[in-house]
Chains A and B, each alone.
Chain A
Amino acid sequence: MRFLLQRTAFYLFTAWAAITLNFFIPRLVPGDPVQSLISRNQGRISADAIESLRVLFGLDSNENIWEQYLDYWGQLLHGDLGLSFTFFPTPVSTVIGDSLPWTVGLVGITTIISFLLGTALGVGAGWRRGSWVDGLLPATTFLSSIPYFWLGLVAIAVFTGPGSFFPSSGGYEAGLVPAFDGYFIPSAIKHSVLPAATILVSSMSGWILSMRNMMVTVSSEDYITVAHAKGLSERRVALSYAARNALLPNVSGFALSLGFIVGGTLLVEIVFSYPGLGYQLFQAVGYKDYPLMQGIFLIITISVLVANLLADVAYLLLDPRTRKS
């Protein structure tokens, strides 16, 4: 328990450091959003308009940076991340709230499926070396070595088009209103099949390979021989003795990959124009939408930290050697 508290304190400190950096970095960048608007409009904005823009963006106050920092924390704790420029005047928190479920739904579920499937195949491949599962390895490794955007584009070129079942872009049929009903849900699922399949294909081999190698390593341990000598069933030796121990590195890898769900989906969402967080970040960068960028970075930071904490907890539960009694 003490260990868990220590870890939590450590992650809180890291979160503070990340948020502080998140506050300072945009302010150290030369120029400000108003200036970028002025240059974009090439001086066709009147002085009055500039002044009102400054007020709108909160750049008029004469607060020093320390007061601004405190204000920032105050707003953050209220869930106020400012207004997005791209979707002016929608608050950043609303923009993120709208796109986060798409990302988590698509990439989150695919990551879990990929982990479960890959690990199960890896257990099989490692336990019965030389079986058909081993033949799967070169194929999956080849698929995962293809750059993801290329795989996505090929999938779009091959499987979509006029008359095809698969749509080529978007998260749901245009014209539908997001709701939990019989029209929207099937449409959303239909739109997610292709991106999900490409992610699965390109990410699974990592799980298979690492699980297989750990199985092979663990299989030569003395306690496996002892388990055989004890006359336990093959199944029990494979699962409770070999796979149980071989799983440990994969579980921490899985927890870490959960943290990258939010941040690592840029390519998927751009290729499939999927309305998730990665696509949003891409747009925010294009429009120099600092508040949105800051907000998304914040979400990414926090999710990576939470995933790390989860990895610690999972390890604590699975490996008694890491527990300090």
Chain B
Amino acid sequence: MSDPVLEIRGLRVDYGLGDAAVHAVRDVDLTLHRGEVLGLAGESGSGKSTLAYGLTRLLPPPGVVSGGQVIYHPADGPPVDVLTLSPAQLRQFRWAETSIVFQGAMNSLNPVHKVSTQLLDVIKAHEPKSTAAGRLARARDLLRLVGIAADRLDSYPHQLSGGMRQRVMIAMALALEPQLVIMDEPTTALDVVMQRQILGQLAELRDRLGFAVLFITHDLSLLVEFSDRIAIMYGGRIVEEAPAAQLYRRALHPYTEGLLHSFPALRGPRRELTGIPGSPPDLRAMPEGCAFHPRCPKAFDPCDKKVPALGAAEPDRAVACWLHPVAAPAPR
């Protein structure tokens, strides 16, 4: 496996302070390798988006990162902890090293500025020495990259369709050739045809440009196809992490199994869709022990007493479940 580009260590994100704080992300360890697509899946409220906002320090108040490290490895130079960057360093880090495509394709572009203004100002902010003509040429190339005619630069966002807007956002995310692109449900607001098209394009761009992707979605079926590895989040923790194909073939955690049985397979024998009974846990009153045990069909003795640690159950894959006890925590 190639070297890591981003290492998240023990990241904790709270909403609020003190005793009233809601722990939305709890001790998350996650490593992204250069050029890989890591899928992050879970139900609504499992902390996926909060994790993404936390590691880029974009959390709106009252969200606070209360612990952990986010180590970023630039292409050249020593690794840096994103959480300790000064405001000026953070501004330089953003978009140039890690860009984000947000879930609201419709609202990610400022309605009163032309597409060109919004594409050019990010290049200008990070490369103040570039010439206006050079920036414009870059913007045209970027649009062509995502299959939009260059004359669309002069359009306003409301003159573009939802799919085009999201492709503009992807073009913008690639503007500074970042090492890592975080995608927070980038295709949720789009129809399935457009979803396919954009994901296909994205996979192609990734092969060509070699950036890593942290792909956040609640749609596990999408990840099985699109990502290299998948991490499953539940109640603010990572409960399972495995290569996509392995996870699809045989899930270790009962929650993952439940997610996999929530959508139909296109090929193979017919199987019953079971879904997961119950609803996601209330983050203010988490159950004792494993957060999933009240909904778990396989819960047994230790589940409601102690939190299982995420550990390597098999080579390459980790799980946090008492059904698969592990002696040592997963190597980082």
Contacts and interface: CB of A to CB of B under 8 A. Distances in A.
Interface string A210-240: 0000000000111101111111110010001
Contacts of A226: 100, 102, 108-109, 169
A319 B58 contact: no
Contacts of A320: 111-112, 114, 156, 158
B94 A230 contact: yes
Given A232-B121, A321-B156, A245 B112 contact: yes
Interface residues of B, number: 31
Contacts of A228: 58, 94
B107 A221 contact: yes
Nearest to A221: B107
Given A241-B110, A320-B158, A225 B102 contact: yes
A305 B172 CA distance: 44
A222 to B, nearest CB: 4
A145 B158 CA distance: 40
Contacts of B109: 223, 226
A244 interface: yes
B96 to A, nearest CB: 7
B267 to A, nearest CB: 37
Nearest to B172: A230
B130 interface: no
B44 interface: no
B94 A319 contact: no
A231 B121 contact: no
B91 A319 contact: no
Contact of A222 (B92, B104, B121): B104
A325 B108 CA distance: 23
Interface in B101-147: 102, 104, 107-114, 121-122, 125-126
B138 to A, nearest CB: 15
Interface residues of A, number: 24
Nearest to B121: A232
Given A222-B104, A226-B102, A320-B158, A231 B122 contact: yes
B56 A231 contact: no
Contacts of A223: 107-111
A220 B107 CA distance: 11
A300 to B, nearest CB: 33
B95 interface: yes
A319 B108 CA distance: 17
Contacts of B122: 230-232
A38 interface: no
Interface string B54-88: 00101010000000000000000000000000000
B93 interface: yes
A76 interface: no
B139 to A, nearest CB: 14
A231 B95 contact: yes
Given A320-B112, A321-B156, A231 B93 contact: yes
Nearest to B97: A231
A232 B107 contact: no
Nearest to B175: A230
A49 interface: no
Contacts of A248: 112
B189 to A, nearest CB: 11
A218 to B, nearest CB: 10
Nearest to A225: B58
B166 interface: no
Interface in A48-105: none
Contacts of B113: 240, 244
Interface of A: 220-223, 225-233, 236, 240-241, 244-245, 248, 318-321, 325
The 9 closest A-B pairs by CB, nearest first: A231-B94, A222-B107, A222-B104, A320-B156, A231-B91, A223-B110, A230-B122, A231-B95, A230-B95
Given A229-B95, A230-B122, A236-B125, 18 more contacts: A220-B60, A222-B102, A222-B104, A223-B109, A227-B110, A228-B58, A229-B94, A229-B99, A231-B90, A232-B91, A241-B110, A244-B110, A245-B110, A245-B112, A318-B112, A320-B111, A320-B112, A325-B159
15 contacts: A225-B58, A226-B108, A226-B109, A228-B58, A229-B56, A229-B94, A229-B100, A230-B121, A231-B92, A231-B95, A318-B112, A319-B112, A320-B111, A320-B158, A321-B112
